[in-house]
Amino acid sequence: KKIILLLFSSLSLAFRHDYAQPSTKNCTEEWFMNLIDHFTPDYPPVHYKQRYFAYDHYWTIGNPIFFYAGHEHDVELYVNTMGLFWERAEKFGAMLIWAEHRFYGKSYPLGKNYTTQDLRYLSVEQTLADYVRLVSLIKEKRGSPDSAVISFGASYGGMLATWMRLKYSDVIDGAIASSAPVLSFQTKVPGFEPNFFAQGVTRCITQKGGVATDWCEANFRQAFAKGRLAEAGTTAQGRQALSEAFSLCEPLPDDPETGWDLVYWVETALSHMAQGNYPYTSSYFMNGRGEMPPYPIIKACDTFLADDLMATCNEDPTALCPALYEGIASFVGVYYNNSEKLACNDIYTHLEKESTSEHNMLWDYQCCTEIFQAFGQDGIRDVFWPAPWNATSEAIRCENKYAGILPDMDWGIASFGNPDHWKRTTSNIVWSNGELDPWAGAGVMTNLSDSLISIMIPQAAHHLDLMFSNKRDTHAVRWARNFEMAHVLRWIDERRKKIKNWTATTHAR
């Protein structure tokens, strides 16, 4: 049974956002000497400085610890944006911990000068062990061994939060995993759809995604699936038309393949706008460089692509169609030129300040070794050009790039099992997905048991439920947050009852 939304009736957990939004300025930045390798003994042990942020204003000994599993960015991004943590700290008397993922931000196990061979320490297993050891240190340091620990995470962080509960249930009492594509690489799970992301992005530009007409989808289908943009790049006249329509700072190079550079640039904007399709102005997917408007996909579709832009163009896909190019250019301008101050576009410069070659390489390495996510598209059930998922060719790419390293295609199931295994062996996880989030198709979409719960949040994009409350939030996401925290409250009570029973049994002996 697919869960659209589960409602929790208690309003006592609701939060009024009536003060300035907290950030890293309200926390203490701390460092922990963690092991570089948790699984191979070194004598003496070799450590590295791992960064984390802590907030304990409302916490006392015995109270819970909310642990955010940092993922593939500087952890400060999550301290400053994951507001559910902040907003419920007082109600629960919780200590808040945000841990930084090894190799990202400022947590470098081997400094900045590492080799491909050194990246063997960049693994999920090492990261989970980092986090569990950090939790143990904090409990010991604060003299609170009986505190319940709840892991939270969004996206890859939601995967980590899930895996912490699966692998270290003696340490983690429950997990809230938002927009966690934990099934994105488990292609052997029955019914898995490798084109999930492309189909999810496509849904956002249809009436099901809140767009006014079907023309937005139709226009993108012409641009991508029918090859209008790429085809235009094959001729000098077409490249000139594209350069003018997209107001490029430099004309497209004299190369028939450069049309694809523009295609990928447009696709990046579309996918980021789909993930960040929030009901309010947000800079989350901009990393601080500007802001996208509320529901950016809806605004861009309804403003620039709401009509048939092919009406004045030849149906032959090799024929030029300036009206289509200009409409698509205006659409992506909502993302790239959000300030409306750019005089021209440079398609070879990334917008996000963390889209560096190093950051991309680190994440690509993780995807080439363990998190071997399936991404395909067919141009039929999605608007993109046909590119079926091919695990073999992707594995060859990884092998060539990383000196013979091959993906472990069975790693996910071998390490953590599959949903059928989880429902027999695990408890206390809530997976949430947003109806507008392209990643939802690779998340847990059904309840596995009474304590392994899946919720689908209408009109919500990527991990909206973990973000700060906003007056433009829908009732659905407010209810979802309350529902999640009701489960957190139950898990904390369960922990306290266990401690009480253990204590009573010990004294009886």
Catalytic positions are 155, 437, 462
CA–CA separation, 188 vs 211, rounded Å?
Answer: 34
Distance, CA of 99 to CA of 134 (rounded, Å):
8
- Please tell me the distance from the alpha carbon of residue 158 to that of residue 72, in angstroms, as a whole number: 12
Contact predicate 320/238, CB 8 Å = yes
* CA–CA dist 480, 443 (Å, integer): 16
Could you tell me the end-to-end alpha-carbon distance of the chain, in angstroms, rounded to an integer?
A: 47
Q: Looking at 356-418, list the stretches that DSSP marks H as alpha helix, in order from N- to C-terminal side.
A: 357-369, 391-401, 411-416
Q: How many helical (H) and strand (E) elements, i.e. helices and strands, does the chain have?
A: 16, 8
d(CA 78, CA 63): 23
Which long-range contacts (C-beta less than 8 Å, at least 24 apart) are formed by 9-16?
10/482, 10/486, 11/482, 13/88, 13/91, 13/481, 13/482, 13/485, 13/486, 13/489, 14/478, 14/482, 15/87, 15/88, 15/91, 15/469
In terms of DSSP bridges, do strands 47-55 and 95-99 run parallel, antiparallel, or are they unpaired?
Answer: antiparallel
Whether 284 and 81 have beta carbons less than 8 Å apart is answered as: yes
Separation of alpha carbons 182 and 108, rounded Å: 26
Closest C-alpha to 53, from 112, 98, 8:
98
* CB within 8 Å of 395: residues ≥ 6 apart: 372, 406, 407, 409
Sheet of strand 429-434: strand arrangement: 28-35, 47-55, 95-99, 65-69, 149-154, 174-178, 429-434, 452-457
